[in-house]
């Protein structure tokens, strides 16, 4: 199997273009010796769906190499064969050839730059879609452990940096290398003596270039690390600006930002330092080679070993020799920056912490029978949050789950939605293990209303239908009226077209909750989950929310995680969790009759708090 298949595994690229993939990757058989070659192969493999553009770019690079560098040789021919011999007719012919090449190189150079840029943009477009899609499929564990700013950096900054591999990296380096070989070949063809003199400094230049390349590679890695830290810091602080201002922590956070900003600036300054050293070194070697050329070329001309035309054009050759080397060093480090970014992006794509989706069952309507059988779960190894939890929710019933903070209430509903995978036991809906259901279909039949409602920037309608065009405005208004939210929504400045700001900051907690209830209802779920949906609202709004809850749970299976025990008196069954285990179960009245029961203690504690507040 070719290495590309190992890299891309089961991707569509490998299936569609296995032969092209093998050709690209066969040049780098020793993957373990150089991670850069491995990353470069993976990046280039992304261009395989656009193989026509790829081959056009390579062809243009091959054609441009001799055309760009043959012009000094034509000048040499003009001097030696026509100007000295006063052959104006021949000189005119060569001059027209020279002008023709110049006119041809311009459009070809434009086409090369445009096509490589176009190829890079297509690759970035596909890659950004793939990265975002992959991130949306990861388990919540990834988001628990990864800062939002870091994921944003991978999806935007790092993916965009990969574009430089095509526009300023691989293809332009190939073109420069071909041009370099063409220059050296033409130099030897013109005068091998002068060519050898010019190449005397090449070993030293190669050593300097290698050192420069290694140093800048390390500096670019530091730059990408620091920009990731900065993005993560800014994302978190800007999102939590309300808390920062309430706690009067602006100055402290500013001092932290200054430290991060200084580290990022220093990383950039380090890379600039290497450039500031390298370019003068190249100029030094170039000047030394030029001095050798003048010294030997002049004596060679006087001795008849070097023609006058060769002596005239070799400074041009020398410029064409050193300029690509200097530019290639710069482009190579741009390529390094793109490869560093690609390594970070591929680390995300290689993260296999995804929810397995091998299920195929898609039922148009579920009865809503939910069964937890000896379920155990741990977010971290051996630190179990749930221990041997078992309960059953019959179709149309309402089960309430209560318990102290950290008892595992929210974990239960996260497992039902397969946001995390259980360690032991099984969860069934309608007698079938939830893993047998197609994942997106399973989640489409379950609606959740969370305590902390997340609303997106957009209209009320957009937030309710979540860009699902199949849900009509009439259906949304009907659902709003059904649960009593319509009168609150139409009081907004633009009604259902009111623009909600990011995270719903321009709405009250109660308004956000009502919108989330309408959102849950319009999708007509078979199983409804309410996670402490009334814990952060005032008593007046709670009455409206309670009415909405009653409408929502009618004729459907419901799980309610409750903070206020007064809201779950009419639940068919109440489960009391403590340290990840069900310690009591029953209806409201039966649980209150237990003399030393956990539920009774919680209820009396809340009743005492309410009495104290009043």
DSSP labels, 469-492: TTS-HHHHHHHHHHTT-HHHHTTS
Answer yes or no: are the C-beta atoms of 168 and 334 closer than 8 Å: yes
Secondary structure (H, E, C), 33-79: HCHHHHHHHHHHHCCHHHHHHHHHHHHHHHHHHHHHHCHHHHHHHHH
Residues forming a β-bridge with 582: 577
For the chain (614 residues), the mean pLDDT of every run of 10, in chain order, is: 41 43 40 59 84 86 81 78 77 85 88 86 87 83 73 78 74 74 80 78 78 76 80 79 78 88 86 78 79 76 72 77 71 75 84 82 87 88 84 89 82 87 88 90 86 81 81 86 83 87 78 83 85 62 69 80 74 86 86 79 67 48
Task: Tell me the DSSP string of 287-310.
Answer: HHHHHHHHHHHHHHHHTTSS-HHH
Instruction: Determine the Cα–Cα distance for residues 232 and 148; give it in Å rounded to an integer.
Output: 6
The CATH code belonging to domain 46-349 is 1.20.1560.10
E strand segments, 353-471 = 370-380, 383-393, 398-403, 424-429, 432-433, 446-449, 458-459
Q: For residue 600, with 0-12 CB atoms within 10 Å meaning exposed, 13-18 middle and 19 or more buried, which class applies? A: middle
Instruction: Collect all residues with Cβ–Cβ distance below 8 Å to 106 and sequence separation of at least 6.
Output: none
Q: Is residue 428 within 8 Å of 371, Cβ to Cβ?
A: yes
Cα–Cα distance for residue pair 78/143, rounded to 1 Å:
69
Position 427 scores a pLDDT of: 92
CA 296 to CA 602: how far, in whole Å? 98
Rounded-to-integer distance, Cα 582 and Cα 111, Å: 70
| One fold for 46-349 and 370-613 | no
CA distance 355 to 435: 10
Read off the pLDDT of residues 81-90 as tens digits, 9 standing for 90 and up: 777 777 787 7
Q: Please state the length of the chain.
A: 614
Sequence-separated (6 or more) residues with CB below 8 Å from residue 527: 366, 368, 370, 416, 429, 445, 446, 447, 556, 557, 558, 559
Q: Tokens 């990353």 label which residue?
A: 39
Longest Cα separation, the chain: 121
Cβ contacts of 469 within 8 Å, gap of 6 or more? none
Please check whether residue 338 is in contact with residue 43, taking contact to mean a CB–CB distance below 8 angstroms: yes
Residue 149 CA from chain centroid, whole number:
10
Predicted pLDDT at 191:
78
User: By three-state DSSP, how is residue 495 classified?
Assistant: helix
Cβ 597 vs Cβ 584: under 8 Å: yes
Give the integer Cα–Cα distance in Å for 567 and 537: 13
Q: Residue 336: which of 162, 180, 171 has the closest Cα?
A: 162
Residue that the structure tokens 């069954």 belong to: 573
Q: Are the beta carbons of 161 and 124 closer than 8 angstroms?
A: no
Could you say which architecture CATH assigns to the domain 370-613?
3-Layer(aba) Sandwich (3.40)
- Tell the residue number behind the tokens 């009067």, with chain if given: 248
Three-state secondary-structure class, residue 355? coil
**Can you tell me the distance from the alpha carbon of 473 to that of 460, in angstroms, rounded to the nearest whole number?**
11
Any idea where the domains of the chain sit in the sequence? Answer: 46-349, 370-613
pLDDT of residue 536: 54
pLDDT of residue 519: 85
pLDDT of residue 12: 40
């Amino acid at each position: 199997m070719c290495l590309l298949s190992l890299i891309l595994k089961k991707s569509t690229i490998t299936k569609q273009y296995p032969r092209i993939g093998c050709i690209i990757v066969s040049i780098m058989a020793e993957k373990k010796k150089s991670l850069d070659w491995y990353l470069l192969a993976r990046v280039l493999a992304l261009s395989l769906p656009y193989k026509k553009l790829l081959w056009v770019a390579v062809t243009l690079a091959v054609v441009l190499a001799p055309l760009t560098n043959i012009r000094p040789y034509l000048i040499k021919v003009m001097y030696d064969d026509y100007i000295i011999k006063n052959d104006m007719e021949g000189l005119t012919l060569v001059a027209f050839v020279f002008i023709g090449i110049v006119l041809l190189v311009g459009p070809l150079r434009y086409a090369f730059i445009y096509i490589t840029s176009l190829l890079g943009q297509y690759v970035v477009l596909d890659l950004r879609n793939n990265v975002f899609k992959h991130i949306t499929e990861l388990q919540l564990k990834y988001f628990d452990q990864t800062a939002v700013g870091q994921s944003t950096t991978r999806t935007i900054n790092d993916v965009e940096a990969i574009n430089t591999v095509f526009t300023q990296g691989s293809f332009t380096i190939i073109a420069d290398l071909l041009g370099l070989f063409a220059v050296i070949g033409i130099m030897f063809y013109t005068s091998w003596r002068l060519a050898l003199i010019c190449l005397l400094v090449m070993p030293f230049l190669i050593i300097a270039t290698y050192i420069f390349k290694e140093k800048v590679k390390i500096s670019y890695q530091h730059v990408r690390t620091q920009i990731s830290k900065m993005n993560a810091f800014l994302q978190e602080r800007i999102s939590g600006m309300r808390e920062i201002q309430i706690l009067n922590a602006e100055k402290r956070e500013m001092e932290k930002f200054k430290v991060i900003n200084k580290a990022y600036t220093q990383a950039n300054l380090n890379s600039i330092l290497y450039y500031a050293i390298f370019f003068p070194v190249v100029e030094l070697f170039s000047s030394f080679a030029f001095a050798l050329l003048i010294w030997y070329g002049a004596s060679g001309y006087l001795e008849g070993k070097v023609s006058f035309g060769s002596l005239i054009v070799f400074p041009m050759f020398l410029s064409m020799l050193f300029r690509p080397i200097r530019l290639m060093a710069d482009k190579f480090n741009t390529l390094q920056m793109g490869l560093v970014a690609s390594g970070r992006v591929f680390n995300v794509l290689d993260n296999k912490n995804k929810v397995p989706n091998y299920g195929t069952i898609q039922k148009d309507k579920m009865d809503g029978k939910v069964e937890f059988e000896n379920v155990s779960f741990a977010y971290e190894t051996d630190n179990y949050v749930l221990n041997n939890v078992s309960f059953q929710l019959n179709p149309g019933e309402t089960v309430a789950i209560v318990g102290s903070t950290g008892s595992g209430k929210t974990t239960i509903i996260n497992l039902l939605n397969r946001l995390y995978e259980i360690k032991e036991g099984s969860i069934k809906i309608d007698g079938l293990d939830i893993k047998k259901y197609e994942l997106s279909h399973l989640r489409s039949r379950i609606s959740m209303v969370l305590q902390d409602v997340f609303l997106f920037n957009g209209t009320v309608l957009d937030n309710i239908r979540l860009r699902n065009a199949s849900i009509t405005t009439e259906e949304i208004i009907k659902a709003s009226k059904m649960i009593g939210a319509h009168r609150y929504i139409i009081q907004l400045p633009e009604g259902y077209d009111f623009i909600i700001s990011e995270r719903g900051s321009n709405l009250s907690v109660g308004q956000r909750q009502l919108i989330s209830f309408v959102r849950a209802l319009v999708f007509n779920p078979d199983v409804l989950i309410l996670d402490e949906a009334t814990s952060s609202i005032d008593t007046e709004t709670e009455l409206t929310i309670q009415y909405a809850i009653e409408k929502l749970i009618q004729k459907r299976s419901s799980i309610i995680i409750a903070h206020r025990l007064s809201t779950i008196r009419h639940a068919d069954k109440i489960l009391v969790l403590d340290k990840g285990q069900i310690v009591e179960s029953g209806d409201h009245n039966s649980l209150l009759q237990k003399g030393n029961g956990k539920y009774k203690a919680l209820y009396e504690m809340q009743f005492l708090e309410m009495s104290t507040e009043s």
